[in-house]
Amino acid sequence: MTLRQFSDIDWSSTLDAILPDVHEVDRDATRVWHAFFPLTLADAYEAADDQAVARRLRVEGNPRLGSGQIDSSHRFLYGHRYWPLVKAALISRSVGHGVSGWSSLADVVREATGDVAAGTRADARLVAGITFVGLMTLRQVGLDAFRATGAESQEMPAASGASPDAVVARRARDDSQGLLGFLRTTKHFSVVFDERVADATFPILDNQHLTTASATDGRDYVHGPRQFQEGPIPAQCRSATCGTCWIGVLGGREKLSEIEPYETRKLREFGYLDVEETRPIIRLACQARASGNVTIVIPPWNGFVSRLQNI
């Protein structure tokens, strides 16, 4: 048995099965990462010319883990701080005896999680998510590439001293409206778009669309990885027709407006998400409105993954 024997459906169902074993701090984050780096897209790049795939899917940015993202794609997970040890454990397991002897992918993930937890002396719930991510990364890039890269520093500067429970609590808090906040006609909140950076946040008005609020951030994002023109969230059309403004939600999902049929249909058209949830982990920022503090993560690419079936 090898990791390549497991289908995309196997990986998705395995993630659903292990989520109860993942600490709340990384439960949604692991699901977000899985949506950002779908196996079907990785396999498409492996089977065809990179430029042909990118043109067909209208890909902008970098969706490939093997293109410089093996050690950085999961920086928004709390478990990222354990990445060097996760890598070492997975490499050792792969070189030693692969994944033979298990009846399911869930068995592989749980056994590997046990290895990492024993090596780090950390709560298994804190390494379960990043171990799943590590195994999927290994599946997409292969052992040689996985082993050849050097793991990044595991610190998350903005949260390096915070416990996982403290991070969960921080994500749940709203900005204070002041002593007379109940008299304010319009409340003000914050959107955090990178927990690793202390000032990676922008203000948002109550019930304002995320892209509208993002555009008020006047800092220079033109030279970022996706060359944003207005604010940190990429946005071209603001009518959900381009797919550039998709985001993952790490905290505050319940403070975003319920997804409407139009946004649901567009998410399926792009191939980003197909679930029946009123407030899913993946949103189009031009459609989602906030009524409290929200913590998000911005993917490194956008495109039309749904076109894979026609390649």
Please tell me the distance from the alpha carbon of residue 202 to that of residue 143, in angstroms, as a whole number. Answer: 40
Dihedral over Cα of 123, 134, 105, 96: its sign: negative
What residues of the chain score a pLDDT lower than 70?
1, 95-103, 150-160, 180-183, 222-229, 310-311
Q: What is the pLDDT of residue 311?
A: 55
Residue 171 CA: distances (Å) to CA of 79, 136, 166: 16, 27, 9
Residue 150: DSSP 8-state: P
Per residue in 103-113, pLDDT tens? 689 998 999 99
Segment (H or E) for 53 = helix 50-57
Which residues are 256's β-sheet partners? 290
Give the rounded distance of the alpha carbon of 41 from its chain centre: 15
Q: What domains can be seen in the chain, in order of their start residue?
A: 3-155 (no CATH), 164-310 (3.10.20.30)
How many other β-carbons are positioned within 10 Å of the β-carbon of residue 177?
15
Q: What is the pLDDT of residue 156?
A: 46
Query: pTM above the 0.85 mark?
Result: yes
